[in-house]
Amino acid sequence: MRVAKHCLAVLAVLTLTLPVWARTYKETINPEKDTTIGTAQLKAGSYDLMADPAKKELQILENGKVMATVQGAWVKLPQKPQYSTVISDGNKITQVQFSGSDQAFQVQ
């Protein structure tokens, strides 16, 4: 009975700390002109991009509030980038690479 209580306590602690282990990637972008990412139109300004590797979506935050969610997929990079990078085609963002991760978020 005592072992069961200890196991239950350990399980409870692990369950509560599991979200801490999950990594959410965050990058701030400052487009100087109107930009598109997925279906979201961004005006010149400052935005935070947040992505969870367990999900196939990227959240776009303006002043700390989610203004849009963009669908996409995670793609494996040949090596981890030293710095976060936003890849664009003209004024359309197509990929976000996060520093220290061997995966990038490919916008659909």
Q: pLDDT, tens digit, for every residue of 14-24? A: 555 444 445 89
The string of pLDDT tens digits covering residues 56-74 is 999 999 999 999 999 999 9
CB crowding 61-87: b at 16 or more within 10 Å, else e:
beeeeeebebebeeeeeeeeeeebeee
Beta strands in 11-64 (DSSP E): 25-29, 35-37, 40-42, 47-51, 57-62
Model confidence at 97, pLDDT cuts 50, 70, 90, reads very high
| Six-digit token string for 86 | 């936003």
pLDDT score recorded for residue 81: 94
| Domain boundary assignment for the chain | 23-107
